[in-house]
Chain A
């Protein structure tokens, strides 16, 4: 009803001069809008394109040529250097390993805790829930000093086990917070029907609740993969000591290559290493762009 009113209304003729003025104002604004948006798009993509171009350039070209000039030749020698000598391959695999197990563990334990806290009443339920959620409020590095010594006492410094366990523990607050809300919103009828049919609590969780919570689980999985892949403080604090450099994750490794490159002012390997890090992300992002945006903004939209 209202829509008919609205669409009918513009038919009422307005003074011609005003219409014209509006049109001109509109055009100017539109041009400015495009200019601003294009400017920001260039500012966003520019540094990344520059890195990729520079990865093919010699040191001399990087210093003397224009930043966005094409490289004189496309040689992949710097890439081979970055992959083997600068250990990017190793760091990459370490990251994949740690994040794969870390995220799997986070999702398993996070959804277990969230499910029980969301759908079972027992003494201490609220206390545990708020204990988990309060972890959202405080920055990680506030506790980084004692965390190091806790791991040291357990013999977990400079081990993948230690890093993975810490990743899981520090991913729990958000995972539990988000999934508890999600499990709470699932209907109770199916739950009850399954109980009448004699399904055990554990079976109900894995065979009924988890599939029903799929969309929430996917969002949080993406959120955790990106979060753990991008961790820097935790690995820097935990993966130190003798022989640690073979266990570094990608962020740590790149930062170190950058320091090394600085000593020799030899940049092309660093740019190749950066490209090897960024390109897979661009590819993954291009394919899963919608899911990734949904996953990362999930917590904020709620």
Chain B
């Protein structure tokens, strides 16, 4: 009965493990190794100790990029989850209760289909579209919609607002996914719970805060983690949409953008890897904090 068990296990694991070890595990490990070299990408590799990290510590653009990542990390989940929760609630219970049953709002299926679509599009394509939507002249959708007496808005070309524009696009793309996700979660909440609360005279706003949110807590945590990961990325948006790829004047620079430019444009493979290590520890901190908050809330 156990005939051929070991060869079978090895045979099934060989290719996936080999691929994963070569392209993923080895790459992650080498990030740590290269971070201690001044390698340009060509020629011999020389170890330089903590030089890269010292340089990073004194690099203004690095700290600004970290700041921008944190800005996205905090605001993207909060705004997206808040909007998605409200919409999901309106779609599911917005029709009020009729004959003791809470109903979805009229057209809820239609809204769900439309809202979800942006999630299907590549961030790169979204970035190209919104690069045009935010255009600073009359060819842009928004400036074209504004009254002609207004002077054109600068959007991405304005240092103060460029990062907010990028955040807005991320929210635009993400909301629909979480509406669907939260709707599924809300659908699994027992009708009786709502009915009992409604009988006690709870209005819809009380229902939302006292019943929906607590019962949805697990899904909210998942959403938080997903959006956190998305906030650490933003590469496609910054690379395609922003002025000067990270500008104007570094106003939209994020770690991913810095890593890419150092690795492939400035021939600074060592420094790019050091940035990768910094990103590793930021991600780890985010994960640890999330776990910690999760645990506290569980009690």
Contact = CB atoms under 8 A, between A and B. Distances in A.
Nearest to A167: B23
Contact of A293 (B31, B180, B283): B180
Interface string A155-197: 0000000000110111011001000000000000000000100
A278 interface: yes
Interface string A48-85: 10110010000000111011100000000000000000
Interface residues of A, number: 104
B205 to A, nearest CB: 9
B27 A143 contact: yes
A170 B23 contact: yes
A68 B176 CA distance: 24
A225 B124 CA distance: 16
B11 to A, nearest CB: 8
B276 interface: yes
A207 interface: no
A170 B28 CA distance: 12
B250 interface: no
Which of A63, A141, A205 has the most chain B CB atoms closer than 10 A to its own CB?
A141
B273 A230 contact: no
Which residue of B9, B12, B184, B199 has the most chain A CB atoms within 10 A of its CB atom?
A: B12
A145 B34 contact: yes
A176 B34 CA distance: 29
Contacts of B62: none
Contacts of B50: none
Given A113-B16, A141-B235, A44 B114 contact: yes
A44 B120 CA distance: 12
B27 A141 contact: no
Nearest to B229: A139
A135 interface: yes
Interface string B1-18: 100111011011101110
A267 B204 CA distance: 48
Nearest to B132: A267
B79 interface: no
Contact of B259 (A37, A109, A145): A145
Contacts of B176: 44
A300 B179 CA distance: 12
A272 B231 CA distance: 30
B94 to A, nearest CB: 5
Interface residues of B, number: 104
Contacts of A46: 141
Interface in A236-279: 236-237, 240, 250-252, 254-255, 258, 265, 267, 270-271, 274, 277-278
B82 interface: no
Contact of A251 (B25, B110, B115, B122): B122
A278 B129 CA distance: 11
B154 interface: no
A265 B140 CA distance: 12
Contacts of B106: 34
Nearest to B230: A139
Contacts of B28: 138, 142-143, 146
Contacts of B133: 47, 50
A100 interface: no
A93 interface: no
A148 B195 CA distance: 58
B287 A137 contact: yes
A46 B239 CA distance: 24
Interface stretch (B53-61, B70-78, B157-165, B219-227): B219-227
B83 to A, nearest CB: 8
A300 B9 CA distance: 29
Nearest to B173: A44
Interface in A94-152: 109-110, 112-113, 115-117, 120, 122, 128, 131-132, 135, 137-139, 141-151
A109 B16 contact: yes
B86 A165 contact: no
Interface in B34-52: 34, 41
A292 interface: yes
A206 B132 CA distance: 49
B192 A113 contact: no
Nearest to B131: A258
Given A113-B12, A144-B259, A45 B100 contact: no
Interface of B: 1, 4-6, 8-9, 11-13, 15-17, 19-20, 22-28, 30-31, 33-34, 41, 83, 86-87, 90-91, 94, 96, 99-100, 105-107, 110-111, 113-125, 127-133, 137-139, 141, 144-145, 172, 175-177, 180-181, 184, 192, 195-196, 199, 203-204, 219, 222-223, 226, 229, 232-233, 235-236, 239-240, 256, 259-260, 262-264, 269, 272-273, 276, 279-280, 283, 287
Interface of A: 2-3, 6-7, 9-10, 22, 25-26, 29-30, 33-34, 36-37, 40-41, 43-48, 50-51, 54, 62-64, 66-68, 109-110, 112-113, 115-117, 120, 122, 128, 131-132, 135, 137-139, 141-151, 165-166, 168-170, 172-173, 176, 195, 200-202, 205, 226, 229-233, 236-237, 240, 250-252, 254-255, 258, 265, 267, 270-271, 274, 277-278, 281-282, 285, 289, 292-293, 296-297, 300-301
28 contacts: A10-B100, A25-B203, A29-B204, A36-B87, A37-B111, A40-B83, A40-B111, A63-B137, A64-B138, A67-B144, A122-B6, A122-B9, A137-B287, A138-B283, A139-B233, A139-B256, A144-B260, A144-B276, A146-B31, A169-B19, A176-B16, A230-B121, A231-B122, A252-B124, A255-B128, A255-B240, A271-B132, A281-B120
